[in-house]
Amino acid sequence: MTRLVLHIDRLVLTGIDRHDADAVAAGVQAELQRLLAQPGALGALTGGGDRPRIRAGSVPVPHGGNGHAMGQAIAGGIARGVKP
């Protein structure tokens, strides 16, 4: 059995209101769980070995969206940054 452990020690979010932080974090967590549970996702990720840092780069977030939607967009950027 292959196991993936993902630690996010620091997530830099420029321009996001502090009041949205919990909703953004919940959106990131839920979307990463969904993306990484898809068939074949784990195999694509484990081929790259340990990675001390992932740079997701700029992630477009929906204007007027809620914190959860922002978190989903951020998780998509993280998932793209993790894949080899």
Check residue 84 and give its pLDDT.
59
SS (H, E, C) the chain: CCCCCCCCCCCCCCCCCHHHHHHHHHHHHHHHHHHHCCCCHHHHHHCCCCCCCCCCCCCCCCCCCCHHHHHHHHHHHHHHHHCC
| Confidence category of residue 30, pLDDT binned at 50, 70, 90 | very high
Rounded Cα distance, 9 and 58, in Å:
18
Average pLDDT of the residues of the chain:
78
Whole-prediction pTM: 0.75
Give 36 or 23, the one with higher predicted confidence: 23
Do 61 and 69 meet the contact criterion of CB atoms below 8 Å apart? yes
Q: Which two tokens stand for residue 38?
A: 């898809």
For 51-84, write each residue's pLDDT tens digit. Answer: 677 777 777 877 777 888 888 888 888 887 766 5
Percent of the chain with pLDDT over 70: 79
